[in-house]
Structure 1
Amino acid sequence: MEQIIAFLTANPTGAFATVDNGVPRVRPWAFMMEGNGKLWFCTSNDKDVYRELQANPNMEFTSWQGFSILRLSGKVNFSQDVEMKNKILENNPGVKSIYKSSENPVFEIFCLEHGKADLDGKTYEF
Structure 2
Amino acid sequence: MQEVLDFLKKCQTYYLATLDGDQPRVRPFGTANIFEGKLYIQTGKVKDVAKQIMANPKIEICAFNGQEWIRIQAVAVADERVEAKQSMLDSYPSLQSRYSATDDNTLVLYLQDAVATIASFAGEPKVIKF
Tell me the TM-score normalized by structure 2: 0.88
Query: Which residue does the alignment assign to 1:89?
Result: 89
Query: Which residue does the alignment assign to 2:127?
Result: 123
Query: Which residue does the alignment assign to 1:4?
Result: 4
SS in 2 for 1:66: coil
Instruction: Report the CA distance shift for 1:2/1:88 in structure 2 as closer, same or farther (over 3 A).
Output: closer
Asked if structure 2 preserves the Cα contact closer than 8 Å seen for 1:45 and 1:51, the reply is: yes
SS in 2 for 1:6: helix
Task: Write the mapping of 1:14-25 to structure 2, written as runs, cut at 5 A.
Answer: 14-25=14-25
Asked if structure 1 preserves the Cα contact closer than 8 Å seen for 2:31 and 2:92, the reply is: no
Q: How far apart, CA to CA, are the structure 1 residues paired with 2:2 and 2:42?
A: 21
Asked if structure 2 preserves the Cα contact closer than 8 Å seen for 1:4 and 1:117, the reply is: yes
Q: Which amino acid aligns with 1:21?
A: G
SS in 1 for 2:98: helix
Where in structure 2 are there 5+ consecutive unaligned residues? 120-124
Task: Write the mapping of 1:1-126 to structure 2, written as runs, cut at 5 A.
Answer: 1-99=1-99, 101-120=100-119, 121-126=125-130
Asked if structure 2 preserves the Cα contact closer than 8 Å seen for 1:37 and 1:113, the reply is: no
Q: How far apart, CA to CA, are the structure 2 residues paired with 1:67 and 1:15?
A: 17
Q: Which amino acid aligns with 1:104?
A: D
Q: How far apart, CA to CA, are the structure 2 residues paired with 1:44 and 1:108?
A: 5
TM superposition shift of 1:104:
1.1
TM superposition shift of 1:50:
0.9
Instruction: Report the CA distance shift for 1:58/1:15 in structure 2 as closer, same or farther (over 3 A).
Output: same
Q: How far apart, CA to CA, are the structure 2 residues paired with 1:58 and 1:42?
A: 15
Give the percent of matched residue pairs that are identical in Structure 1 and Structure 2: 30
Q: How far apart, CA to CA, are the structure 2 residues paired with 1:12 and 1:31?
A: 8
Residue-by-residue CA offset, 1:8-50 (whole Å, 9 max, x unaligned): 2322411110001111000011232112221111111111111
- How many residue pairs get matched? 125
Residue-by-residue CA offset, 1:69-126 (whole Å, 9 max, x unaligned): 1111111100112111111111102221211x21111111111032100012212221
Q: Which amino acid aligns with 1:111?
A: Y
Where in structure 1 are there 5+ consecutive unaligned residues? none
Q: How far apart, CA to CA, are the structure 1 residues paired with 2:40 and 2:89?
A: 12
Q: Which amino acid aligns with 1:124?
A: I
